[in-house]
Structure 1
Amino acid sequence: MRHVLTMAITGAVGLMAVFAVDLLNFFYISHLHDPTLTAAIAFASSLSFVQTAVGLGMAIGLGACIGRLIGARQHDRARELASSFLVVMIIVTLALGLFTAIFAHYFLTLLGAKGEALIHATRFLHIISPALPLICLGMTLSALLRAVGDAKRSMRVTLIGAVFTAILDPILIFGFNLGLEGAAISTVLSRCAISVSGFLNLRGHAMIERPKLNLIMPATREIGNIALPAIGTNLATPVGALFATHAMSRFGLEAVSGQAVVDRLVPVSFAFVFALTGSVGPIMAQNLGAGQFHRVREAFICSLKLTALCVAIAWAVFASCHTVILKLFHVQGAGIELVNLFCFGVVASYMFVGLLFVSNTAFNNLGHPLYSTAFNWGRATLGTIPFVTIGAYYGPKGVMIGQALGVVIFGSLAMMAALSVIHNLEKTASHKIPTPSAKNQL
């Protein structure tokens, strides 16, 4: 429990810093009192989360692979693969960022963005999308630090981004009167700071060297076996959110803005739960590499307990502070009902989101990455589309309740499957251990 807590708390602070960038952007933009701007950043961020999911999947794959190698004491091999895979990550995310920037207007139109909100959202993506490799590089280097057990430095990598945003946002948005474009420029500069911080904090661990061309393909295959399913897994959540955003757009900009407030509060408030997915993964991977299967189960159970505690605390805080949230973000109209619904009820569903994410981490690090892909996409499709479609007939609140019901089902199923995977590992290991009588015969 102490090991999981140490890794998760430091990971939570760092992850909170990443999500705080979006929250701060939205907070400052909301003070311009223009619904088209708040809706624009909501639409743009929906696509941005899809991009970030790709980088996060690569970071998870790298962390799991490097964690196993370090657990098996193959440090040289770990360094070679990590250095070579960074080249692949930069190329892939740069291509994705440019692709999104080129087709931003088309994608936003499909989401339901119209008029001034569409114009502002397109400009926002044109600025931040080409800088996607910077934030993905920072997340990957942070994952590498967690894989070697340096939780504090991993936290510093992403924390620096929030600091830059907190300083630059008011200067660019209000001081230079750049509005949403100022928020976009601030985001790019914070991403630069995160990537530089990643390299600086990784010094001393001897985990980065000059990439070797002959190792790029082997690194891509070995890490890609985990990273590709992890990318597929992580893409499911923002894709499901895209469908919900499209459904919410039918009820006007105020409903979209209200949903956007919730979407930005959740990652920051539940950063600890989300950090468990990145923090407990290397712990499981190292113990798997060392053959300590009982510790894999202990890490998983500890994560479930901490998830329940975090959600209970967040529920109490949101319920008591809902009026403050409404005032801080200038929520109006239908958005008020959505924020209140979340604070008093829907927030509890994030217990099952936590179950799903922790279970996915177990699958990714214990040799069953396709399980996590299946459960996450099951939630994003069967657990989202029918529930949200039916809920939309009852208004914007029905859309939010529909999302919550779907994750309850798939979070519970994922937890049971993860426990089964761990049990099978323990059972297989026990059969390989010679009995005392067999040892005597030998």
Structure 2
Amino acid sequence: MAKIDRKELILNGNMYKAITIISLPLMVNNFIQTLYNLADAIWVSKLGSVQFAATSFVWPVIFLFISLGIGISVAGASILSQLIGASEHDEANKYASQLIILSLIFSLFFALIGYGLSPHIIKLMGGTGDLAIYSNIYLKICFLGFPFVFFFYNFDSIMTAQGNTLIPTILSAISTLMNVILDPIFIFHFGMGVAGAAIATVISQALLALAGLIVLRKYSPIIQLSLKGFKFKKTMIKKILEVGLPASVGQSGAALGFIVLNSFIASYGTATLAAFAMVNRITSLIMQPPMGIGAGLTSIVGQNMGANQMDRVEEAFKKAVKLTLALSLVGAVLILWKDMETINIFMSSERDVEVINQGLSYLRQVAITIPLMGLFSIFQGLFQGSGHTKYSMAMEVGRLWFIRIPMIQIFKYSTNLGPEGIWIAMSSSNFLICVYGYMVYRSNKWQRRIIKAGH
């Protein structure tokens, strides 16, 4: 009953309440994932620096491969929320089945390809010696978990489309806790080392997928998954790929962009790279609430577009912007007010004066543009919820490849700014990409319905 009430809240209720109820679990989930990554890193780091480096080394590869899974889930959240808003529940059920099977096929294909090509991928990335050995062990096992990861992304999108972000968050929290408990058992008790860390992760992913399947079959009131008499529907597959592909390109393009970005920043020296990583960790924590609001906006926009309530879509967007700006400004003021104390949480001032000084310089610059980073998340939520993922893709890829990276190169070779040029490029890119997002918003091109009932 609660899920049907959420639909009522999204379509007719108080908008601030709707945004809060949908977004809050997503914020919590983001924090849980951040804490899990920290706990996971602590266990693996106890094995040694090479083992720890191996898990970090292969992460961009894993993220690149799962970008397609993320793309399909973005398509699912957008299409399903619009169908639910239009009360086309049977059509939504059919799309959900197509999503699950399509995702399963892709995930099995990537798992097999990735498992077989793992040593070659690591060699191509420049991994040698012990780093290559541990990276290969970790990466191969992680690839085996892809079907579970892809399934959970789709489960998450199906629940989010219905306005229920709480159940995926609860399941994710349980899975995270299980992983943290299993890590030391497999790593140390069974003496499996890096392989144990990967196995613990895959087991947690498998149990998470199983829990998601049970929820979809028994406790999901609007969309009940049924694969009985399943047949591929060409028009549905085409629509899923049409909406999902730009989202995948945006994700993978951003992942590749950050790899290239890091290599450019590393050319300035380890102090600059350390300062960059440290400040990004601080801002990522501050950005959790705006990112949650942006993700929550997807289902609110989708359902109201499905119900032809464009006034509600506009209201949701404007109120999400107000909430995000308020939260971002508070975060920015706190950072600027307690800049040295914030830096000292992550690094003692006695350890490396150069890193501290560069970190303070970057922190002060980026703090001013934190509200713009929040707006970036809101534009992403609006364009993905409306199904016009080509605009969210343009923002993700454009910010990195067409603004940040070229600006960093220009400043490096044409000015004497030094690391300051990186900080200026980072801040400027946030401003310029939000100008682009606002221009697209004002054009109203994103308002065109991507799906019609019965198609």
Normalization by structure 1: what TM-score? Answer: 0.82
Quick one: distance in 2 between partners of 1:194 and 1:355?
32
Quick one: distance in 1 between partners of 2:438 and 2:120?
38
Match status 1:128 vs 2:148: no
Match status 1:322 vs 2:355: no
What is the aligned counterpart of 1:10 among 14, 25, 40?
25
Name the SS of the counterpart of 1:17 in structure 2: helix
Superposed CA deviations along residues 12-62 of structure 1, whole A, max 9, x for unmatched, are 22243344433332243445562x444333322222222333222211100
Change (3 A) 1:193 1:275: farther
Change (3 A) 1:63 1:336: same
In the alignment, what sits opposite 1:437?
none
In the alignment, what sits opposite 1:412?
435
Structure 1 regions of 5+ residues with no counterpart? Answer: 427-442
State the shift of 1:332 in Å. 7.5
Quick one: distance in 1 between partners of 2:318 and 2:308?
18
Quick one: distance in 2 between partners of 1:30 and 1:262?
21
State the shift of 1:367 in Å. 4.8
Match status 1:77 vs 2:94: no
Change (3 A) 1:258 1:208: farther
Counterparts of residues 300-315 of structure 1 (less than 5 Å): 300-315=317-332
Aligned residues between the structures = 423
Q: Which amino acid in 2 is paired with 1:136?
A: F
Superposed CA deviations along residues 61-118 of structure 1, whole A, max 9, x for unmatched, are 0011111111111111111210222011111123224333444444445555555444
What is the aligned counterpart of 1:167 among 181, 195, 201?
181
Q: Which amino acid in 1 is paired with 2:434?
A: G
Quick one: distance in 1 between partners of 2:319 and 2:428?
25
Q: Which moved more, 1:65-74 or 1:293-302?
A: 293-302
Name the SS of the counterpart of 2:104 in structure 1: helix
What is the aligned counterpart of 1:373 among 377, 393, 396?
393
State the shift of 1:382 in Å. 0.7
Counterparts of residues 54-133 of structure 1 (less than 5 Å): 54-108=68-122, 111=125, 113=127, 115-133=129-147
What is the aligned counterpart of 1:195 among 199, 209, 216?
209
CA contact (8 A) 1:37 1:180 kept: yes
Name the SS of the counterpart of 1:381 in structure 2: helix
Superposed CA deviations along residues 374-421 of structure 1, whole A, max 9, x for unmatched, are 232222311232134346667777556544432332133213322432
Counterparts of residues 19-418 of structure 1 (less than 5 Å): 19-30=34-45, 34=49, 36-108=50-122, 111=125, 113=127, 115-176=129-190, 178-202=192-216, 203-205=218-220, 206-210=223-227, 212-248=229-265, 250=267, 269-315=286-332, 316=334, 319=339, 320-326=341-347, 343-346=363-366, 348-390=368-410, 399=422, 402-418=425-441
Quick one: distance in 1 between partners of 2:27 and 2:447?
30
Q: Which amino acid in 2 is paired with 1:139?
A: Y
CA contact (8 A) 2:99 2:154 kept: no
Name the SS of the counterpart of 2:225 in structure 1: coil
Change (3 A) 1:117 1:322: farther
Q: Which amino acid in 2 is paired with 1:385?
A: I
CA contact (8 A) 1:80 1:215 kept: no
Using the aligned pairs only, state the percent identity.
23
State the shift of 1:236 in Å. 2.5
Quick one: distance in 1 between partners of 2:420 and 2:131?
22
Change (3 A) 1:21 1:276: same
Name the SS of the counterpart of 2:402 in structure 1: coil
Name the SS of the counterpart of 1:372 in structure 2: helix
Name the SS of the counterpart of 2:31 in structure 1: helix
Name the SS of the counterpart of 1:383 in structure 2: helix
Quick one: distance in 2 between partners of 1:44 and 1:334?
29
Quick one: distance in 2 between partners of 1:33 and 1:412?
45
State the shift of 1:351 in Å. 3.5
In the alignment, what sits opposite 2:11?
none
Quick one: distance in 2 between partners of 1:286 and 1:157?
24
CA contact (8 A) 1:139 1:158 kept: no
Change (3 A) 1:103 1:424: closer
Quick one: distance in 2 between partners of 1:191 and 1:283?
28
CA contact (8 A) 2:142 2:202 kept: yes
CA contact (8 A) 1:142 1:158 kept: no
Name the SS of the counterpart of 1:199 in structure 2: helix
Quick one: distance in 1 between partners of 2:99 and 2:372?
33
Quick one: distance in 2 between partners of 1:210 and 1:424?
33
